[in-house]
Amino acid sequence: MFLAYEALADLPMKQATVTTPLATMQAPTVDGSAVVFVSILRAGNGMLDGMLEALPTARAGHIGLYRDPQTHRPVEYYCKLPQDTALCNIIVVDPMLATGHSAIAAISKLKVLKPPAIKFICLLAAPEGITTFSAAHPDVPIITASIDQKLNEHCYIVPGLGDAGDRLYGTK
């Protein structure tokens, strides 16, 4: 949820009526109807509730990708987005940016829509993933809580957290 605040900080604001215990007032708020959080399945769903808690009026979309174990390249198996996603600021969520290939694939798919802005949020990133992602999408900011040391020979982040999807859902 804290990363959501960082991602939302520079989005356009609108005036909304807020009722406090003492008075009613106009206050600037982020227009949640103009934001779509896109979760990269399945691990991104572990972050999605926190994003929606920070901005409850936002909507959610999903892009299903898995990493081919031999090539370490993403394979898409699902995509479902709100109808007017092209008109919204898109914030893509995935817990880890390892090689960067899944994030690149998701962002490339979303850029076809020509939305006003796209951002990428992750909990952990590897330097190699940041370099690869930034070369492919230099206009898309990465918001992360931590940059770890490196990728190992299996393209996992070190020290990392292991496979986020497996940890979230108890699979192996």
Active-site residue, selected from the candidate residues 29, 31, 85, 163: 163
Is 166 an annotated catalytic residue?
yes
Is 59 an annotated catalytic residue?
no
Q: Which pLDDT value is given to residue 31?
A: 85
Which of the residues in the chain have pLDDT under 50? none
Scanning the structure block, which residue is given the tokens 């901005």?
Answer: 55
Q: Which pLDDT value is given to residue 118?
A: 97
CA angle at residue 150 from 144 to 152, to 5 degrees?
Answer: 130
Tell me how long the chain is: 172
**Alpha-carbon span 59 to 38, nearest angstrom:** 9
SS3 category, 38: strand
Q: Which pLDDT value is given to residue 1?
A: 82
Is 49 an annotated catalytic residue?
no
Active-site residue, selected from the candidate residues 57, 131, 166, 167: 166
CB 38 within 8 A of CB 106: yes
Q: Which pLDDT value is given to residue 166?
A: 66
Tens of pLDDT, residue by residue over 110-157, are: 999 999 999 999 999 999 999 999 999 999 999 999 999 999 988 888
Active-site residue, selected from the candidate residues 29, 31, 67, 85: 67
> How many Cβ atoms sit within 10 Å of the Cβ of residue 84?
13
CB 33 within 8 A of CB 57: yes
Is 148 an annotated catalytic residue?
no
Q: Which pLDDT value is given to residue 63?
A: 97
Q: Which pLDDT value is given to residue 169?
A: 64
CA quadruple 94, 99, 105, 106: dihedral, nearest 10? 10
Active-site residue, selected from the candidate residues 24, 71, 139, 171: 71
For the record, the structure tokens of 7 come out as 């991602």
Q: How many alpha carbons fall within 13 Å on the CB side of residue 23?
A: 3
User: In order of start, what are the domains of the chain with their CATH numbers?
Assistant: 33-169 (3.40.50.2020)
